[in-house]
């Protein structure tokens, strides 16, 4: 069975995309699934750093893989083996700031609109990388940056579903609208099989009227068409501290309420 490919996306920063990528992956791994994490954020490579790796010290990263996918796709299996890092019960394709360069190239090639026979189209570079490994995993999770750029286009063009973390705050609603419109565009242009796996409320404080009001508004506006995950992810200082440990919440704080919330989310994803 080929992997389920989940893009974690939102057109707004600071909503918990990286935290969700790591801990959804860890939760699925705890359930016994084979999981690959992909760091697709060119700005900070937070996923790579949060799992204890320094991007500047890595010889092979996603930048190498995407360049190879564009120019020498037949060499991808060898490059992937050099790039894969093993962390907890998951694998990781890491990133660093060199990913910015490939984003520029993808944009230039898309604008040029000329692709020679046999070359990988710029919108499908990440899909080419994933196709080389998808039979080895049950779930592949892509952590994307907040920009609606060619790297996010690649993530959505490769994914089978997108999960949208949304901070339980009124201003976060704007980012939700933007990403849902982008998903519609990508579905029409590049990936008709793409579905919305769900909206995940993050930084949720159940005792506040604000969070409950935002939850109700999202449910009323989108609930008929889009799944809203049953268990919101609570606001917690442990989540903010977690990158210091270079591990998932499941390893650092296995009994914490936020960890248990991600465990419930993983079960929802696994149960479809």
Residue 16, pLDDT above cutoff 70:
yes
Burial class (CB in 10 A: 0-12, 13-18, 19+), 24: buried
pLDDT of residue 115: 55
Superfamily of domain 4-270: P-loop containing nucleotide triphosphate hydrolases (3.40.50.300)
Residues 17-73 have pLDDT tens digits of 999 999 999 999 999 999 999 999 987 789 999 999 987 789 999 999 999 999 999
pLDDT of residue 237: 85
pLDDT of residue 48: 95
Please state, in angstroms and rounded to a whole number, the distance separating the CA atoms of residues 188 and 193.
10
Gyration radius of the chain's alpha carbons = 18
Please state, in angstroms and rounded to a whole number, the distance separating the CA atoms of residues 228 and 198.
5
Please state, in angstroms and rounded to a whole number, the distance separating the CA atoms of residues 212 and 168.
8
pLDDT of residue 9: 94
Residues 226-241 have pLDDT tens digits of 999 999 998 888 788 8
Torsion sign over Cα 256, 259, 263, 269:
positive
Residues above pLDDT 70, as percent of the chain: 97
Eight-state DSSP code of residue 237: H
Q: Whole-model pTM?
A: 0.94
Q: Where are the domains of the chain?
A: 4-270
pLDDT of residue 262: 97
pLDDT of residue 119: 63
pLDDT of residue 116: 55
Residues 108-165 have pLDDT tens digits of 888 776 555 556 789 999 999 999 999 999 999 999 988 889 999 999 999 999 999 9
Burial class (CB in 10 A: 0-12, 13-18, 19+), 193: exposed
């Amino acid at each position: 069975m080929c992997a389920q490919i989940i893009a974690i996306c939102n057109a707004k920063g600071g909503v918990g995309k990286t935290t969700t990528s790591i801990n959804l992956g860890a939760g699925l791994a705890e359930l016994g699934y084979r999981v690959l994490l992909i760091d697709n954020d060119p700005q900070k490579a937070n996923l790579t750093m949060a799992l204890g790796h320094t991007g500047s010290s890595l010889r092979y990263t996603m930048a190498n893989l995407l360049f190879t996918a564009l120019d020498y796709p037949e060499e991808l299996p060898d490059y992937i083996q050099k790039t894969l890092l093993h962390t907890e019960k998951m694998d990781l394709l890491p990133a660093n700031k060199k990913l910015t360069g490939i984003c520029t190239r993808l944009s230039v090639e898309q604008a040029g609109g000329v692709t020679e026979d046999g070359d990988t189209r710029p919108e499908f570079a990440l899909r080419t990388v994933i196709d080389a490994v998808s039979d080895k995993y049950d779930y592949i999770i892509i952590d994307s940056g907040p920009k609606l750029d060619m790297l996010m286009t690649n993530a959505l063009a490769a994914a089978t579903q997108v999960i949208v973390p949304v901070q339980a705050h009124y201003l976060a609603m704007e980012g939700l609208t933007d990403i849902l419109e982008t998903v519609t565009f990508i579905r029409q242009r590049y990936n008709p099989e793409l579905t919305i796996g769900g909206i995940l409320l993050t930084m949720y404080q159940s005792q506040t009227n604000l969070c409950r009001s935002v939850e109700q508004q999202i449910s009323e506006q989108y609930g008929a068409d889009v799944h809203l995950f049953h268990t919101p992810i609570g606001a917690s200082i442990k989540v903010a501290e977690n990158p210091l440990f270079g591990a998932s919440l499941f390893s650092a704080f296995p009994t914490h309420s936020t960890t248990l919330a991600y465990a419930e989310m993983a079960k929802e994803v696994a149960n479809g």
